Structure 1
């Protein structure tokens, strides 16, 4: 069961051992003014508290899902650690929050995503502790909620399970970077044009590399979800994430 989980662990370990210069689309350490750093922390903490309760409840009701919960964290860690250069001299990367959100909901993913970001800031110099609240709000709060509502809406519209997962992961990825653009624009409004000019600049730069990455993340998330549906159907059924027509078959 889940034979590829150890491979993800080996891959993550290799990433930790590879030396590299830390360019990141997470907001870097010390970049935000203190007031904004505190503001985003205050917005994020309530979701983490609720997420801890959600995870505790899920594990108590379905203890057999612990392995899949760990997989969701490894999936997010590995994907969000894969950075590719963008036109700005920085890097862009997938977020990996789609899988865990579809399986466990957005509140649980707020905890998983925050832990992933914490490890990346400490071990990979990817992001930072002072900006962890801002990065967690964009990737571990807003992203998962976009994934969740997109997935539910897609199923209600009659789309297939695979298409629902794809669009959810795709929009969750893009939504993360829209929020990151908003955060940077609020902290650093342009001298000419103010917030809106700054937001357009940041969002335009991010979109060039993030759209193809979002498509790739959507496809990969569908592949992993279909694998889980094939080999861990009972666990997914207990989590009540599959469409009713597929559960009834």
Structure 2
């Protein structure tokens, strides 16, 4: 996550922007509609965005010589779905690229696709599958963990296709596996911790607003 400025070849940077922009645009429209229709949504959108920013800004030293961090998208995708999460992630990643030196402008599309689009979609699918059977906190825990892990898997794919270790499909696959192996050392435990934090926060939100559980269709 946070592929640095100028790291991707130009063609791949462009490809990921083409993928990200329509999702971000739809997410912006949906976010505006939610905020306009319900005043309570404004505060929850702000909380979800802050959760993404704070967690994804953490830089945890990795045994591989790099750094890892949570993604923070679990709360947003549980409360508002993948499109809104993509829009909030884009704002966070743009801010971090400009002011914190995390990621970059040329790689913004790739970073949004991994952290703001595909990761949250995977988390949302897991949440929707589990929420009829588990309570809100357990379903959120699973969604946040899967969103985190999927983000880093997608980043591994992005790096693997851009920098294959050899020719052909075998070189791409080998490179993807290498990148994923490096990320997994620290990201597996980080994802679990992130899931616990997301579960705790969603439990607090639900406790203060019992209508949340009804809207999300969870058991408790």
TM bucket (normalised to shorter chain) is: over 0.9
Aligned residues, how many? 218
CA drift of 1:237 comes to: 5.4
Q: Unaligned stretches of 5+ in structure 1?
A: 1-24
Partner residue, 1:229: 206
**Which protein is bigger by CA-based radius of gyration?**
1
Written as runs of structure 1 = structure 2, the 5 A alignment for 1:24-63 is: 25-63=1-39
Given candidates 79, 99, 102, the residue that maps to 2:78 is 102
Partner residue, 1:88: 64
Bigger shift: 117-126 or 83-92? Answer: 83-92
Given candidates 135, 147, 152, the residue that maps to 1:172 is 147
Distance 1:50-1:143 versus aligned 2 partners, 3 A rule: same
1:76 aligns with 2:52: yes
| TM-score normalised by length of structure 1 | 0.84
Given candidates 171, 180, 185, the residue that maps to 1:203 is 180
Distance in 2 (CA, whole Å) between partners of 1:168 and 1:237 is: 16
What is the RMSD of the two structures over their aligned residues, measured on CA atoms? 1.3
Measured against aligned partners, the alpha-carbon deviations of 1:168-203 in whole angstroms (never above 9, x if no partner) come to 000000000000000000000002741011011000
Q: Unaligned stretches of 5+ in structure 2?
A: none
Distance in 1 (CA, whole Å) between partners of 2:179 and 2:40 is: 43
Distance in 1 (CA, whole Å) between partners of 2:206 and 2:199 is: 10
Given candidates 135, 146, 168, the residue that maps to 1:160 is 135
Distance in 1 (CA, whole Å) between partners of 2:104 and 2:198 is: 27
1:213 aligns with 2:190: yes
| TM-score normalised by length of structure 2 | 0.95
